Chains A and B, each alone.
Chain A
Amino acid sequence: EPEVTQTPSHQVTQMGQEVILRCVPISNHLYFYWYRQILGQKVEFLVSFYNNEISEKSEIFDDQFSVERPDGSNFTLKIRSTKLEDSAMYFCASSVGQGGNEQFFGPGTRLTVL
């Protein structure tokens, strides 16, 4: 069964460093998303991406964040200068279509900023 994959599973970084989180969405899906979940809190939307551009972003997704689809399979989230409060689980998701279509989540990357 196709699934979303993410690497690495755990990333530890120093405050101020840049990190890149990687995702491979399900192959026939066209819409891609990043969500995050701070320990003990809700899953929060960060950004959605379609046709090589951002279709929607949240207030959390400020200038420190960027997304890219560098090739036909990968989808990345870059945090330019990490802060302590960026420590969270980051989930990539994908869906066939937009809006109400089912979104399937990857296993997540646990980001720890020291």
Chain B
Amino acid sequence: QKEVEQNSGPLSVPEGAIASLNCTYSDRGSQSFFWYRQYSGKSPELIMFIYSNGDKEDGRFTAQLNKASQYVSLLIRDSQPSDSATYLCAVNTILYGNKLVFGAGTILRVKS
């Protein structure tokens, strides 16, 4: 059973559009949720985290969490070609201790 699932994509959006990335997780005890961006050949870069149900906004990014549906999403407004990367969803639960469990990532392509 997969613990953190993401659509692998690629998700293609035109420049200036909203990109919507989704993630589901299997463990209801999950408490902390993170979005990382990973450019090809580079390390994961933390862009957002969310702990509570609802929305959290930071600049062009909005993270949304629905614990009842075990669903977390990332919206990127005014998408830019430089946003083209793989977006990784990562989850931490008490069950897993300190470790992050990562999804396989969604490839985002922003076309200019």
Contacts and interface: CB of A to CB of B under 8 A. Distances in A.
Contact of A104 (B46, B51, B94, B98): B46
B98 A55 contact: yes
Contacts of B101: 45
Contact of A105 (B32, B45, B92, B104): B45
B40 to A, nearest CB: 11
Given A43-B88, A99-B92, A48 B44 contact: no
Interface string B42-54: 1111100101000
A98 B97 CA distance: 8
Given A48-B98, A105-B46, 9 more contacts: A41-B104, A56-B97, A95-B98, A99-B92, A99-B94, A100-B51, A105-B36, A105-B43, A105-B45
